[in-house]
Amino acid sequence: MIIYFLILLLFAVGLYGLLSQRNLVKLIISMSILECAADLLLIAAGWRANGSAPVIAAGQDAGQFALSSVDPLPQAMVLVSIAIGLALLLLLTAIALRLYHEYGTYDIGEIRRLRG
């Protein structure tokens, strides 16, 4: 149970960074940390104590395998989530570079002031 609380604490650290920081790079980093915590929560929910990885060995019975393996469904979801996180980061980096070109700063408070 303490694992879940630590994952929530990691999520809280990411949320705090997202709310309190003003540098665009710090915001990107906070979003990445939030994503890490969410991924870890999903994988931990599908973990089986002393289980095996969801790869069936040659000659293993499928029913026996289903009783000893961890859940493959959260792993597939998290794999898609990691891919989407990479795409999001590339896009956010491009947006940050464009904003830096427009306003000459990464500070979102400064950007808001320059926009008027």
Restricted to residues 54-93, the positions that interact with other proteins (CB under 8 A) are 54-58, 62-63, 65-66, 69-73, 75-80, 82-91, 93
Q: Which of residues 13-42 bind other proteins (CB under 8 A)?
A: 13-23, 25-26, 28-30, 32-33, 36, 39-40
Q: Does 1 bind other proteins (CB under 8 A)?
A: yes
Q: Does 96 bind other proteins (CB under 8 A)?
A: yes
Please count the residues of the chain. Answer: 116
**Gyration radius of the chain over CA positions:** 20
Phi, psi of 52 (to 5 degrees): -110, 165
For the bound state, the minimum distance from the C-beta of residue 67 to other proteins, rounded and expressed in Å, comes to 9
Q: Does 111 bind other proteins (CB under 8 A)?
A: no
For the bound state, the minimum distance from the C-beta of residue 91 to other proteins, rounded and expressed in Å, comes to 5
3-state secondary structure of 28: helix
The amino acid at 103: Y
Is-contact 46 75, C-beta < 8 A?
yes
Residue at token pair 């060995």: 57
Q: Does 3 bind other proteins (CB under 8 A)?
A: yes
